[in-house]
Structures are given as C-alpha cells and as structure tokens.
C-alpha cells in the first residue's frame, strides 16, 4: 500500500497558517519575508501561530536573505533563534549552512542540528545552490538532519524530478527527501509519481488586496507599489485542491 503524502505548506502569516490547517496540511514551515526567500519569523508571529494551530510548526532559521555562508555572529543568532523556537513549542526547524566554496558546512550545521534536539530538523533549499548536489547530499546526511528539502537543484521542482528520484534512492532510510519548488495542483501528482517522495513542500500563495486600498494614497514605499499594497496569502481551497489532486493519483495507483 502506498504511503500517504505529507504536505508541508510554507506560510508567513497567521491567516495563511490557519488556511493551511483547514485545508488539510500536515505541517507548516513558518517564515517572514518570503519575497526574499524566507527568513526567521518574529517571536511574536511564532507564538501566535503556535497558539492557533494544532499541526506541527517548523520555523525557518535564517538570519538574513542572500547566501548561506554565515559569520560567527550570525551563527550565534541562529543558535539563539533555535532556543527560542524550542521554548515556544515549535515541532521542528528548517536550516542550512554552506561554505563559500559551495559545499555544505557539515560541522557548523551539525552543531545546530544537535542544538535543536529533540526538534525535527530540515536542511532547506540551500542544498539546491551547492556546487555538487550528490556530494552535498552525503554531507547533509552527515549533519544528522532528518529531512532534506530540494527542487533537484532547479528553479522549479518539475525540472529536477530525475535528480530528486536519484536522491530518494540514495537515501536508503538515512534521511527523508522532501520535494519542493513551484509545486501546484497541475504538477503535484506527476512530481510525486516520478520522484517517489512521500513529503512535499508547497507555497500556494495567492495575491490579495487590502480591504482598505481605496483609502490609501498612491505612493511607492520600497517594494510596495501604489494603493492596495498587494500581498499574498495561502487560501484553504488551494491547499484542499492540491491534497485532493495528489490523493486521487495515489488512490488510482493503489486500485
């Protein structure tokens, strides 16, 4: 019998976290500043999300946007953020450190993995920008992380299905490989089928406008463009439809 697919939804707000749970997601990755690829959420956001959802919450531990080569000061920030996440009831964390030569920094990542215990640890998509994916995979396994999130080294997951399938075969029970990167309702079933993964990571963010946009003056502030200040939110229906799509494919395969 095929194993059920675990769906992790990446969110940056309480509203999106609630929608993900109502839609049937099994886990949440919590971030701030998703426009920059996600950074560590504020303690306030983590606390409120934890108080309002019952599914596991995994905050990302990423002190800044940009590359994944961190200074000693940034490493200390990551340690402190892990301590706070554990104290506030996070079920796991997502993190990853690379050296400036494009290899996985096994020693420093392992230090954070050990500091996070007993929380579950995901090595995030820093992996996908490493210089050699197959060597990096062995290094990620050596860090002691429980899970690897990857798009197969491509911008979009469907482009990296062959590599992801290769990593699933190479894992041999040492680590869980989770596929992620532009997975949607139209490609999720194919990605799961072709890679053999049992976990997927999705964004599913939908643009929404502020209810008060008519009251705003037209003014550009940084990346906020004009009245309305468009933002994104995960919708319950999007999560539900995606889960239905992958579940239908799994059921058809068993039949």
Nearest to 157 by CA among 189, 122, 131, 121: 189
pLDDT at position 209 is 76
Residue entry with tokens 């402190």? 80
C-alpha angle 172-177-178 in degrees, rounded to nearest 5: 160
Tokens of 94: 């997502």
In tens, the pLDDT along 76-94 reads 999 999 999 999 999 999 9
Tokens of 214: 């008519």
Tell me which DSSP letter residue 8 carries.
E
**Helix or strand or coil: residue 231?**
strand
pLDDT at position 231 is 83
Alpha-carbon distance of 87 to 85, in angstroms, equals: 5
Tokens of 118: 């007993």
Alpha-carbon distance of 150 to 163, in angstroms, equals: 9
pLDDT at position 213 is 61
Tokens of 227: 């009245």
> DSSP string of 149-207?
EE-TTSSSGGGGHHHHHHHHHHHTTSSEEEEESS--TTTHHHHHHHH--SEEEE--EEE
Alpha-carbon distance of 179 to 168, in angstroms, equals: 10
> DSSP string of 99-163?
-TTSSB-HHHHHHHHHHHTTSEEEE-GGGGGSS-HHHHHHHHHHHT-SEEEE-TTSSSGGGGHHH
For the chain, how long is the longest CA-to-CA vector? Answer: 58
In tens, the pLDDT along 16-38 reads 999 999 999 999 999 999 988 99
pLDDT at position 208 is 85
Output the tens digit of pLDDT for each of the chain's 255 residues. Answer: 467 999 999 999 999 999 999 999 999 999 999 988 999 999 999 999 999 999 999 999 999 999 999 999 999 999 999 999 999 999 999 999 999 999 999 999 999 999 999 999 999 999 999 999 999 999 999 999 999 999 999 999 999 999 999 999 999 999 999 999 999 999 999 999 999 999 999 999 999 876 666 666 665 555 545 445 678 999 999 999 999 999 876 554 544
Q: Is the distance from CB of 232 to CB of 34 less than 8 angstroms? A: yes
Q: What is the CA radius of gyration of the chain?
A: 18
Quickly count: other Cβ atoms within 10 Å of residue 167's Cβ: 25
**pTM of this structure:** 0.93
The domains of the chain are located at 6-254
Domain 6-254 sits in CATH at: 3.20.20.380
In tens, the pLDDT along 100-133 reads 999 999 999 999 999 999 999 999 999 999 999 9
**Helix or strand or coil: residue 77?**
helix
- For helices 188-195 and 161-171, what crossing angle results, to 10°? 40
């Amino acid at each position: 019998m095929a194993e059920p697919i675990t769906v992790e939804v990446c969110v940056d707000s309480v509203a999106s976290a609630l929608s993900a749970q109502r839609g049937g997601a099994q886990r949440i990755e919590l971030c701030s500043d998703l426009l920059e690829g996600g950074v560590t959420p504020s303690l306030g956001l983590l606390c409120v999300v934890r108080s309002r959802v019952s599914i596991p919450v995994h905050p990302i531990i990423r002190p800044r946007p940009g590359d994944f080569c961190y200074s000693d000061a940034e490493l200390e920030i990551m340690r402190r953020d892990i301590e706070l996440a554990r104290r506030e009831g996070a079920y796991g964390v997502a993190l990853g450190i690379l050296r400036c030569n494009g290899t996985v920094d096994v020693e420093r990542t392992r230090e954070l993995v050990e500091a996070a215990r007993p929380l579950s640890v995901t090595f995030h998509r820093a992996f996908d920008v490493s210089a050699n994916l197959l060597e990096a995979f062995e290094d990620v396994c050596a860090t002691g992380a429980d899970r690897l999130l990857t798009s197969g080294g491509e911008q979009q997951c469907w482009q990296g299905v062959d590599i992801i399938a290769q990593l699933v075969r190479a894992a041999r029970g040492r680590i869980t490989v989770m596929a992620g990167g532009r997975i949607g309702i139209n490609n999720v079933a194919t990605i799961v089928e072709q890679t053999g993964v049992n976990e997927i990571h999705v964004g599913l963010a939908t643009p929404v406008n502020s209810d008060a946009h008519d009251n705003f003056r037209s003014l550009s502030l940084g990346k906020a463009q004009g009245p309305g200040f468009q933002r994104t939110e995960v919708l319950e229906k999007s999560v539900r439809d995606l889960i239905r799509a992958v579940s239908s494919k799994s059921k058809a395969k068993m039949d």
